[in-house]
């Protein structure tokens, strides 16, 4: 069997099955995911599948308009509904009326003021879901409409209606580096991009189950990414110490960031109702309400002024971005922090001025979403790069090659020097080759047909794990227990939400202990079994839990190795663990099974449990200038998209996306490919069809019929090139991939569509009316679309590339 380190350093997915579980362990292989069999059999129990004796169902009454004063709330009719056990308004909360993660700006229940559609007015618990929702609809709110603001740029103009008393500007981030070169640019491109938001559309709606024990403590079982966030929120609204709130993560039917911050809110609601009634309360959001009230990817407005010299070298980049926080900050500051330092991509630019402002509006509030502010600014940056390439007359690949960071030019936006190797060019070449870039452009393409083909490229530089600003959260806990039969229990604080954290943790533990992965059981997180491990976000799940597992294994081995050495008759330093055995290094025939060692530990009553801990390396970062080390290390991704655009209908069909990813080291090959395939398709959906249609802050398309996510029939083919390298910081050298998989996809599609049509497109998503409007006079129905899409400017570019 090939050993992973004996294989070529950069590998492409083909029919290659990857290394199997053998002597070198499961790392990089494709063994079965531990959660797959139960899931295909339909026996995995999601929170909506759980019920308990006496359990009640929650419903919620929400505000139908975006800005209002609450004059009165009448709950009499709701209380009279048969089966209703409790109706709770702000006045009846046991603890703080507060669910904001970072800023204390969001009440659990609106008391006097409504700031967005979906603000909660009253909670209901009833014996059936039907009764709960009927009662919720009967809550009568007398609302006095107030002026509202729905445009984040307008919100920052003096005199705009105030969403909160302190003003609409929440915070400003910036990077200011260099200056002098700005005047030496030969070509300057200015552009204004309107980048839309996105609905997560996880297939399982938000849900949780609250189980009270008197009024002294409570268990929450929740569909969530961050059990520790839920724990904090519930403790605060109930007025309980953290230790009295136990949060167990239920198997979670997708998250993508949508179950990072938001689940704290339904959990707090269910907890309040559980305490009010003394009974278990299950709260599952119906799809339409889930889409209407949950957080979204932030819409952003991004203004660019970038310059290059005539040789195609970037001279300066000025970026001015405004992020629509919606009515509450939620985690917008952290999203803006990432957007701010991701604004110029993986390019070497001597002079950089970036400003990112966060504006309150009366829109639905923004939250975490795969990519976390980076996809929006990447979309803008890659559009501008293509414009500059055209302006200096260079092929988009060649223009990028001249400016990409590499082993010699390693200074990113913030001035931080990247660790070697910097694999941007490698990724570009691999993606371009997979896509057949040269062949595509050598082929003649018809210019007189309704369907036009195009190819576009985009790259992303992704800061792995949490930003400097969130460093206090960047730690993680693990527990490893060696059972008497040699099987292993692993507990971690980070969650499986579909992305493959269970299989990643299983692989890492099995690799470190030299056992078969089937000997390792990783259990869903529970806040009473591990210490606060921060959130499962920022593509940090496998990294942070993996590092903690490795630490736990190291500590366990301080007790295991001496016993094994005694059984083997060797020194403890000679003990190695592999292929399910403890053996003498260099003498594989002298071995005992791990099960024998485990039995011996049990017989001697030696502690067979160990905890592990991980925290990120401290870094230097100056928030005022934006200079320093926002992230510990980085991953690069390059996507090439091939599209066919129907000019008459304005319909974009994405045929193929070729994705090259610098992943450090593969942990589990199927999970890695699954992340890339899923991320690309989600990014393509965002870029093309997923339009959040807001009317005065109300989502008018909260259904899968009207909000179009990609289906089996329209998902592009995804080609994958995996670039491995030595020296990354994660477990066995792995880097996160969950978000890089999405970030450049929509930008590559945009550039492909521009290449196909020969007009610039500056608003995302590329829905048919936007395409038709951009075609301007060239399209018979242009006037219809232009009225709807006033920001879509038509600007003709040179045909071809």
Partner 1 sequence: MADRITITLTLNGERRSFETAPGRRLLDLVRDDAGLVGAKEGCGAGECGACTVLLDGAPVASCLVLAASADGHEVVTVEGLGRAGALHPFQETLVTHGGVQCGFCTPGIAVTGAAVLARGGDAADHARLLAGNLCRCTGYAKVVEALDDAAAKEAADAPA
Question: For residue 420, what are its two tokens?
Answer: 């070697």
546 binds ligand FES (CB under 6 A): no
Quickly count helices (H) and strands (E) in the chain: 19, 32
Return left, alpha or beta for 580; rule: phi > 0 is left, psi -120 to 50 is alpha, else beta.
Answer: left
Q: How far is the CB of 335 from partner 1 (least distance, A)?
A: 20
CB 258 within 8 A of CB 295: yes
- Shorter beta-carbon distance to partner 1: residue 2 or 286: 286
Q: Is 459 helix (H, G, I), strand (E, B) or coil?
A: strand
Residue 709: count of CB within 10 angstroms of its CB: 18
254 binds ligand FES (CB under 6 A): yes
- Shorter beta-carbon distance to partner 1: residue 190 or 706: 706
Residues β-bridged to residue 189: 306
- Shorter beta-carbon distance to ligand FES: residue 118 or 710: 710
Q: Which residues lie near partner 1 (CB under 8 A)?
A: 30, 32-33, 35-46, 48-49, 200-205, 251-256, 286-288, 497-500, 670-671, 673-674, 676-682, 703-705, 709-713, 715, 717-718
Q: How far is the CB of 289 from partner 1 (least distance, A)?
A: 11
Q: Identify what 40 binds: ligand FES, partner 1, none; CB under 5 to 8 Å per kind.
A: partner 1
Q: Identify what 42 binds: ligand FES, partner 1, none; CB under 5 to 8 Å per kind.
A: partner 1
Residue 91: count of CB within 10 angstroms of its CB: 9
- Shorter beta-carbon distance to partner 1: residue 24 or 200: 200
- CA dist 328 to 106, 195, 333, 593, Å? 6, 20, 11, 56
Residue 681: count of CB within 10 angstroms of its CB: 22
Q: How far is the CB of 498 from ligand FES (least distance, A)?
A: 5
Q: Which residue has the tokens 């004063």?
A: 69
Q: Identify what 523 binds: ligand FES, partner 1, none; CB under 5 to 8 Å per kind.
A: none
- Shorter beta-carbon distance to partner 1: residue 72 or 713: 713
Q: Identify what 671 binds: partner 1, ligand FES, none; CB under 5 to 8 Å per kind.
A: partner 1
Burial class of residue 408 in the structure, from the number of CB atoms within 10 Å of its CB (0-12 exposed, 13-18 middle, 19+ buried) = exposed
- Shorter beta-carbon distance to partner 1: residue 718 or 771: 718
Q: How far is the CB of 58 from partner 1 (least distance, A)?
A: 16
Q: Identify what 35 binds: ligand FES, partner 1, none; CB under 5 to 8 Å per kind.
A: partner 1
Q: CA neighbours within 13 Å on the CB side: how many for 426?
A: 20
Q: How far is the CB of 250 from ligand FES (least distance, A)?
A: 14
- Shorter beta-carbon distance to partner 1: residue 346 or 710: 710
Q: Is 38 helix (H, G, I), strand (E, B) or coil?
A: helix
Q: How far is the CB of 38 from ligand FES (least distance, A)?
A: 13
Q: Identify what 711 binds: ligand FES, partner 1, none; CB under 5 to 8 Å per kind.
A: partner 1
Distance CA(77)–CA(79), nearest Å, equals 5
State yes or no: cis peptide before 287, omega within 30 of 0: no
Q: How far is the CB of 499 from ligand FES (least distance, A)?
A: 10
Smallest CA-to-CA distance from 397 within 318, 333, 459 is with: 459
Please, which of residues 417-436 interact with ligand FES by CB under 6 A?
Answer: none
498 binds ligand FES (CB under 6 A): yes
Q: How far is the CB of 213 from ligand FES (least distance, A)?
A: 33
Q: How far is the CB of 47 from partner 1 (least distance, A)?
A: 11
DSSP letter string, 320-346: EEEEEEETS-TTHHHHHHHHHHTTTTT
Q: Identify what 705 binds: partner 1, ligand FES, none; CB under 5 to 8 Å per kind.
A: partner 1
Contacts with ligand FES: how many residues (CB under 6 A)? 3
203 binds ligand FES (CB under 6 A): yes
Q: How far is the CB of 236 from partner 1 (least distance, A)?
A: 29
Q: How far is the CB of 538 from ligand FES (least distance, A)?
A: 20
Residue 79: count of CB within 10 angstroms of its CB: 15
What contacts 99, CB < 8 A, 6 or more positions away? 106, 107, 108, 233, 236, 237, 264, 265, 268
Q: How far is the CB of 681 from partner 1 (least distance, A)?
A: 4
What contacts 174, CB < 8 A, 6 or more positions away? 340, 353, 354, 355, 356, 625, 626
738 binds ligand FES (CB under 6 A): no
- Shorter beta-carbon distance to partner 1: residue 121 or 654: 654
Q: Identify what 713 binds: ligand FES, partner 1, none; CB under 5 to 8 Å per kind.
A: partner 1
- Shorter beta-carbon distance to ligand FES: residue 36 or 606: 36
Distance CA(793)–CA(763), nearest Å, equals 9
- Shorter beta-carbon distance to partner 1: residue 142 or 711: 711
- Shorter beta-carbon distance to ligand FES: residue 470 or 678: 678
Q: CA neighbours within 13 Å on the CB side: how many for 10?
A: 14
Distance CA(418)–CA(742), nearest Å, equals 22
Phi, psi of 688 (to 5 degrees): -120, -55
- Shorter beta-carbon distance to partner 1: residue 100 or 500: 500
CB 314 within 8 A of CB 331: no
Distance CA(476)–CA(532), nearest Å, equals 7
Q: Identify what 216 binds: ligand FES, partner 1, none; CB under 5 to 8 Å per kind.
A: none
585 binds ligand FES (CB under 6 A): no
Q: Identify what 497 binds: partner 1, ligand FES, none; CB under 5 to 8 Å per kind.
A: partner 1
Q: Identify what 449 binds: partner 1, ligand FES, none; CB under 5 to 8 Å per kind.
A: none
- Shorter beta-carbon distance to partner 1: residue 576 or 714: 714
Smallest CA-to-CA distance from 382 within 458, 319, 446 is with: 458
- CA dist 273 to 147, 229, 250, 529, Å? 33, 19, 20, 26
- Shorter beta-carbon distance to partner 1: residue 46 or 781: 46
For the chain, give the number of residues.
801
Distance CA(321)–CA(192), nearest Å, equals 10
Question: For residue 747, what are its two tokens?
Answer: 């930008």
Q: How far apart are the first and last CA of the chain?
A: 46
Position closest to ligand FES via CB = 203
Q: How far is the CB of 466 from ligand FES (least distance, A)?
A: 25
Question: For residue 511, what are its two tokens?
Answer: 């690799």
- Shorter beta-carbon distance to ligand FES: residue 334 or 680: 680
Q: How far is the CB of 255 from partner 1 (least distance, A)?
A: 8
Q: How far is the CB of 281 from partner 1 (least distance, A)?
A: 17
CB 737 within 8 A of CB 500: no
What contacts 216, CB < 8 A, 6 or more positions away? 240, 244
Chain residues that interact with ligand FES, rule: CB under 6 A: 203, 254, 498
């Amino acid at each position: 069997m090939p050993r992973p380190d004996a294989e070529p350093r950069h590998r492409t997915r083909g029919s290659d099955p990857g290394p199997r579980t053998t002597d070198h362990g499961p790392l990089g292989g494709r063994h079965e995911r531990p959660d797959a069999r139960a899931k295909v059999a339909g026996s995995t129990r999601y929170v909506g599948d759980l019920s308990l004796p006496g359990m009640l169902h929650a419903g919620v009454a929400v505000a139908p308009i975006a800005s209002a004063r609450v004059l009165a709330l009448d709950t009499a009719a709701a209380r009279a509904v048969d089966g209703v056990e409790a109706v709770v308004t702000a006045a009846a909360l046991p603890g703080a009326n507060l669910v904001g993660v970072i800023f204390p700006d969001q009440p659990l229940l609106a008391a006097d003021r409504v700031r967005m559609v979906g603000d909660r007015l009253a909670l209901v618990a009833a014996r059936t879901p039907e009764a709960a929702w009927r009662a919720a609809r009967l809550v009568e709110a007398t609302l006095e409409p107030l002026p509202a603001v729905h445009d984040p740029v307008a919100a920052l103009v003096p005199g705009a209606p105030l969403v909160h008393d302190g003003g609409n500007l929440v915070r400003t981030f910036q990077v200011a580096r260099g200056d002098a070169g700005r005047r030496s640019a030969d070509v300057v491109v200015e552009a204004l991009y309107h980048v839309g938001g996105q609905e997560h559309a996880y297939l399982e709606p938000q849900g949780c189950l609250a189980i009270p024990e008197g009024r002294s403590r409570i268990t929450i079982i929740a569909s969530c990414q961050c059990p520790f966030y839920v724990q904090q929120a519930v403790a605060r609204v109930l007025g309980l110490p953290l230790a009295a709130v136990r949060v167990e993560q239920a198997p979670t039917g997708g998250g993508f960031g949508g179950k990072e911050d938001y689940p704290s809110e339904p959990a707090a609601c269910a907890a309040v109702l559980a305490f009010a009634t003394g009974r278990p309360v299950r709260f599952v959001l119906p799809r339409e309400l889930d889409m209407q009230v949950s957080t979204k990817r932030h819409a952003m407005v991004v203004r660019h002024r970038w310059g290059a010299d005539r040789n195609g070298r970037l001279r300066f980049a000025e970026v001015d971005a405004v992020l629509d926080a919606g009515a509450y900050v939620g985690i917008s500051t952290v999203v803006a922090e990432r957007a701010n330092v991701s604004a110029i991509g993986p390019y070497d630019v001597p002079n950089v001025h970036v400003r990112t402002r966060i504006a309150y509006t009366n829109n639905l509030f923004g939250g975490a979403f795969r990519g976390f502010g980076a996809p929006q600014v990447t979309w803008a940056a890659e559009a501008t790069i293509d414009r500059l390439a055209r302006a200096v007359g260079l092929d988009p690949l060649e223009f990028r090659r001249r400016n990409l960071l590499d082993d010699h030019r390693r200074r990113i936006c913030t001035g931080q020097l990247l660790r070697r190797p910097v694999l941007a060019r490698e990724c570009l070449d691999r993606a371009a080759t997979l896509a057949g870039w040269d062949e595509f452009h050598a082929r003649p393409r018809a210019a007189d047909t309704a369907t036009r083909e195009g190819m576009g490229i985009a790259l992303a530089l992704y800061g792995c794990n949490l930003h400097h600003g969130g460093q206090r959260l960047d730690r993680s806990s693990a527990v490893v227990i060696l059972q008497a039969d040699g099987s292993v229990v692993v507990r971690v604080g980070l969650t499986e939400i579909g992305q493959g954290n269970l299989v990643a943790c299983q692989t890492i533990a099995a690799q470190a202990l030299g056992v078969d992965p089937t000997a390792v059981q990783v259990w869903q997180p529970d806040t009473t079994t591990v210490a606060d491990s921060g959130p499962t976000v920022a593509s940090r799940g496998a990294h942070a839990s993996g590092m903690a597992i490795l630490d736990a294994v190291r500590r366990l081995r301080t007790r295991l190795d001496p016993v094994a050495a005694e059984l083997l008759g060797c020194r403890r330093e000679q003990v190695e663990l592999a292929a399910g055995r403890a053996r003498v290094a260099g003498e594989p025939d002298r071995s005992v099974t791990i099960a024998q060692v485990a039995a011996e530990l049990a017989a001697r009553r030696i502690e067979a449990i160990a905890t592990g801990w991980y925290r990120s390396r401290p870094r230097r970062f100056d928030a005022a200038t934006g200079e320093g080390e926002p992230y510990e290390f980085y991953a690069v991704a390059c996507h090439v998209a091939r599209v066919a655009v129907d000019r008459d209908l304005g319909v974009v069909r994405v045929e193929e996306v070729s994705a090259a990813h610098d992943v450090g080291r593969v942990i589990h090959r199927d999970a890695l490919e699954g992340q890339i395939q899923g991320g690309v398709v989600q990014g393509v959906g965002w870029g093309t069809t997923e339009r959040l249609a807001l009317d005065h802050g109300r989502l008018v398309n909260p259904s899968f019929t009207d909000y179009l996510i990609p289906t089996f029939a329209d998902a592009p083919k995804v080609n994958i090139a995996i670039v491995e390298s030595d020296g990354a910081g994660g477990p066995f050298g792995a880097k996160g991939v969950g978000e890089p998989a999405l970030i450049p996809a929509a930008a590559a599609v945009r550039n492909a569509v521009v290449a196909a049509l020969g007009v610039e497109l500056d608003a995302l998503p590329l829905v048919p009316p936007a395409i038709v409007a951009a075609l301007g006079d060239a399209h018979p129905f242009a006037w219809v679309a232009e009225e709807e899409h006033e920001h879509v400017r038509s600007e003709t570019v040179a045909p071809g590339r």
